[in-house]
A and B are shown apart, each in its own frame.
Chain A
């Protein structure tokens, strides 16, 4: 009889897979209470490290052509398709889904990457404009990535919600710190293994597992985070993160709709350029 090799679930920071610097882990169980894994219990230092990585990676990522970013998002879908079985198994364990529901969720998650891959080179044509100002000026508005965005992953459907949060944020050229859902961290870590082999530059996506209550206050008060997708937070946690985030006027949004170009533009700035017209 062969004994399974069990996976150690670690963090994903700057393209690497460290354990929490704190040495802490927490236990998660499957839907029947059976032991599943000891994912890292991320610390404030881990969060800070990922913000540093995200900040460093962001300029080059947003300067990459939209076509290039689109191909990388599509590459994520390609690699994820090949790992479907692992995601399905984890969803069955984490969420207690039957195999066909788990398979469907994985397919939806992959298709969501593809959907946002198609947006990278179209969002500015949809949300940008040329403005007919009353004067001899050429005037146009272009959307630009915000910077570093933290994402509190929403719960069930846990894998799909990871992609719903991540894909629109990075499509436009932001870098991201994904704060995995406390109960469903396995899909997030397995996703990081896909991201690490998808031509995505190190630091563009960083993933922290841990206790949401702690992460809310550390993330909300971190002065080098520009925006937060708070879709995974309770109303009490949302209020806390908004109060803390007011210190540097973080852009904080929660989303009901799963897929929308608004999820992209919510974490973009608009820049208007004036230029005179004349000989």
Chain B
């Protein structure tokens, strides 16, 4: 294959000021951790250490929860709703102002292409705050009664795949509904959350309304099990989600969960093939496939399989893998060594179980964590690559003959987060959507997100929805 020469267009990191060391953000200030411990966060594209961040232990979590409780009781719950909304508008505007800085930092800490952090993650995060700002004084229209009430202190635990966007999905509705927050960003991607703490300071948000504690899963469990937490919102793996559900079973804590997925992307014979190919590529290779709603199972009608796979391979060979800061890059770095190991382990099982692997030729950088865009054909439903969430740039291709068979196979999973449908026939889209057991159905598109649109899963993909009017329900107690 000829290597198409191109000029690199790396985004400058000059506007990002990364400190060598960060504290915890508790009660409006950065404080040293009581644990006395710090851990490193690295750039997964280079393995260079970016900063040392504080490790929050139980004492630190206790301080954060009591700061949040204090802010809830004394300030936030007493403030007129319209004024609460104004703080969220301020945060939205500051995020818009500092968007480029956030995008670059996100790409450095996460490994995702700058094109995605710049055009998707950060603008959507700002949009989430703007949208929820408007809800703060309109909660009587949220559909949960005339006088809905916040729970109190929300403990929020977010993943590493969309660090800033997931922060927005959590903090914006919590604050709009009058709750205060203790948020733990993922262990490998804490930096944008810590920069967000600065935004809270610039917005003059009352101290303690947002507290950010960095740490690992153990830190998360201190939040989950803390008696001062009234509501838990978690995005992450189904395994951890189930553990949280069990841990709080004997308490009054309200819980929402956004968990794993194994989305079917169904391509009917009457689909617009070229658009479908673009949608398949976007569905599985967006954000290196580190997407809970990724279209990781391609279900293609048998009679168009050959044509579709040929076009898909041609399109995949044009995917540019490499430096996430290069504005041309399509596929960035895998977020961590452990995630790379997991992707390899499951993908290798595809070879062992008899599926056929294909990847385009591509030169992966020598440093950092990388995995080439990969598809498996000849996959059967019992294969691990068809059942388990890989959370990487690996697509499994299965076939079907009739629409009924497509539905049967699409629903044959423990998950139910999202699905895609490709056909030129509107009635078939709606017929299929009616039968899919999934929380979000994309028709002739994929991976679309908007603050006004509820997102969340059926079955073991979670509890509740985030975004839209429905997302508010997770943060409100029913009024009279």
Task: Give Cα A121 to B469, complex, Å.
Answer: 11
Report B452 CB to chain A, min CB distance, Å: 5
Q: Chain B nearest CB: distance from A262 CB in Å? A: 12
Shortest Cβ distance from residue B349 to the other chain A in the assembled complex, whole angstroms: 35
B431 adjacent to A115 (CB under 8 Å) = no
User: Closest approach, in angstroms, between the C-beta of B142 and any C-beta of chain A?
Assistant: 9
Is A11 in the interface zone, CB < 8 Å from B?
Answer: no
Q: Are A114 and B434 in contact (CB under 8 A)?
A: no
Contact B127 A122 (CB under 8 A): no
Q: Are A70 and B141 in contact (CB under 8 A)?
A: no
B426 and A122 contact, CB distance less than 8 A = no
Residue-wise, chain A 40-82 has the 8 Å CB interface mask toward B (1 for contact) of 0000000000000000000000000011001100100000000
What chain A residues lie within 8 Å of B469 (beta carbons)?
A: 122, 125-126
- Structural contact, B134 and A277, CB atoms closer than 8 A: no
Q: Which residues in B have their C-beta under 8 angstroms from that of A138? A: 430
Q: Which residues of the partner chain B approach A70 to less than 8 Å between Cβ atoms?
A: 130, 134
Which of A66, A67, A111, A125 is B82 in contact with, Cβ under 8 Å? A111
Is B278 interfacial (CB 8 A cutoff)?
no
Q: What bracket does the count of chain B residues touching chain A fall in?
A: 20 to 34
Note all chain B residues with C-beta closer than 8 A to A118. Answer: 85, 133-138
Using CB atoms, name the residue of chain B closest to A71.
B130
B86 adjacent to A114 (CB under 8 Å): yes
Name the contact of A279 in the complex, choosing from B133, B403, B451 (C-beta under 8 A).
B403
The reply to whether A261 and B452 contact each other, CB–CB distance below 8 Å, is no
A117 close to B (CB within 8 Å):
yes
Chain B residues 132-170 with CB under 8 Å of chain A are 133-138, 141
Q: Is the CB of A74 within 8 A of B452?
A: no
- Say yes or no for A132: interface residue by CB 8 A criterion: no
Chain B residue at minimal CB-CB distance from A125: B469
Given contacts A74-B89, A114-B86, A114-B89, A121 and B134 within 8 Å (CB-CB) = yes
Do most interface residues of chain B lie in helix, strand or loop, or is the interface mixed? helix
Is there a chain B Cβ closer than 8 Å to A278's Cβ? yes
Distance between A174 CB and nearest chain B CB, rounded to angstroms: 19
Report A-chain residues with C-beta under 8 Å of the C-beta of B136: 118
- Proximity string of chain B (399-428) to chain A, C-beta cutoff 8 Å, 1 when within and 0 when not: 000010000000000000000000000111
Task: Flag if B138 contacts A122 (CB, 8 Å).
Answer: yes
Q: For A120, give the chain B residue with the smallest CB separation.
A: B134
Measured between alpha carbons, how far is A275 from B431 in the docked complex, in Å? 11
Query: What bracket does the count of chain A residues touching chain B fall in?
Result: 20 to 34
A114-B430 CB under 8 A given contacts A121-B134, A125-B469, A279-B403: no
Q: By the criterion CB–CB under 8 Å, are B434 and A67 in contact?
A: no
Q: Does A9 contact B (CB under 8 A)?
A: no
- Whether the pair A67, B427 counts as a contact (CB closer than 8 A) is no
Quick check: is A87 within 8 A (CB to CB) of the other chain? no
B430 to chain A, nearest CB (A): 4
Report yes or no: A67 in contact with B141, Cβ–Cβ below 8 A. Answer: no
Is residue A267 contacting chain B, with contact meaning CB distance below 8 A? no
Q: Which residues of B sit under 8 angstroms from A115, Cβ to Cβ?
A: 82, 137
B131 at interface by CB-CB < 8 Å = yes
B135 CB, nearest partner CB in chain A, Å: 7
Contact of A276 among B86, B135, B137, B427 (CB under 8 A): B427
Please indicate which of the listed interface residues A67, A121, A261 has the most CB atoms of chain B within 10 Å of its own CB: A121
Residues on A facing B (Cβ under 8 Å): 66-67, 70-71, 74, 111, 114-115, 117-122, 125-126, 138, 261, 275-279
Question: 30 A–B contact pairs at CB < 8 A?
Answer: A66-B452, A67-B130, A67-B451, A70-B130, A70-B134, A71-B130, A114-B86, A114-B89, A117-B89, A117-B134, A118-B133, A118-B134, A120-B134, A121-B131, A122-B135, A122-B138, A122-B141, A122-B452, A125-B452, A125-B468, A126-B469, A138-B430, A261-B141, A275-B426, A276-B430, A277-B427, A277-B434, A278-B427, A278-B428, A279-B403
Q: Which residues of B contact A (CB under 8 A)?
A: 82, 85-86, 89, 127, 130-131, 133-138, 141, 403, 426-428, 430-431, 434, 451-452, 468-469
The 4 closest A-B pairs by CB, nearest first: A118-B134, A277-B430, A276-B427, A278-B427
